[in-house]
Amino acid sequence: MDVDQKDHFARLMKAVADDRDQAAFTALFDHFAPRLKSWLLKRGMTVDEAEELVQEVMTVLWHRADLYAPERSSLSTWLFRIARNRRIDAQRRSRNRVIDHQDPVYQLLEVPGVDIDFETQEREATVRKALAEIPGEQMELVRAAFFLGQSHSEIAAATGLPLGTVKSRIRLAFERLRRALGESGGN
């Protein structure tokens, strides 16, 4: 997303926040609703679930436009964060409604021995330390790609960074991680 487009969206949000400008809201809805829906569908939601969640996000945009701070993030980042949080909430609610007794969570598991447990804890501590050494901007992109399941293109769109920059920063983060784990014997 280029700077002019970011400024345009920020002006539209200001019009919605200050004047309840329906034309500005419509322009924002027409631009972001299909993108949000596509993103949600890629994450396994049904069409109905995705459309309902998009409606919720756009309702937040209408009622809470005054909370958007363009100096803190792009509008797309703000909206996708709301969508992500609402999606997580919806998943939690749906999990609480239906109990599948065949779910591995309800199956008895073999308890690992103390030596396996100790090795696992050591390995986890090494990985956590290596992750902590990755610079913040790289770690945010890694989080988006691997913990939120966003594609590089989606991350670029959400952050406003060029696609090549997103790919480079993720690659650099993994090189740092590989070096840190290699040096500590975590291969």
Model pLDDT for residues 50-91, shown as the tens digit of each residue: 999 999 999 999 999 999 888 888 899 999 999 999 998 888
pLDDT at 186 over 80: no
How far lies 7's CA from each of 16, 25, 27, 74, 124, in Å? 14, 15, 14, 9, 43
**Distance between CA atoms of 169 and 176, rounded to whole angstroms?**
11
User: Are 121 and 94 found together in one domain?
Assistant: no
Entry field: residues in the chain: 187
CB neighbours (10 Å) of residue 55?
A: 14
- Which structural domain range is residue 178 located in? 114-187
96-114 tens-digit pLDDT: 655 556 655 556 555 556 6
Based on C-alpha coordinates, what's the Rg of the chain? 21
pTM: 0.50
Residue type, 67: L
In total, how many domains does the chain have? 2
Same domain flag for 77 and 22: yes
Q: Is 87 contained in some domain?
A: yes
Tokens for 88, please give them. Answer: 């997580």
If pLDDT is split at 50, 70 and 90, which confidence band does 48 have? very high
In angstroms, the Cα distances linking 97 to 48, 89, 105, 118, 169 are 18, 13, 16, 36, 40
- What's the rounded Cα separation, in Å, for the pair 137 and 30? 30
Domain assignment present for 106? no
Query: Within a domain: residue 153?
Result: yes
CA atoms within 13 A on the CB side of 143: 12
* Residue 172: both structure tokens together: 């650099």
With contact defined as beta carbons under 8 Å apart, do 63 and 1 qualify?
Answer: no
Give dist(CA 159, CA 55) in Å, integer.
22
CATH code of the domain covering residue 135: 1.10.10.10
Residues 10, 86, single domain; the answer is: yes
Give the pLDDT confidence of 136-172 residue by residue, as tens digits. 888 888 888 877 888 888 889 988 999 999 899 889 8
User: SS3 for 72?
Assistant: coil
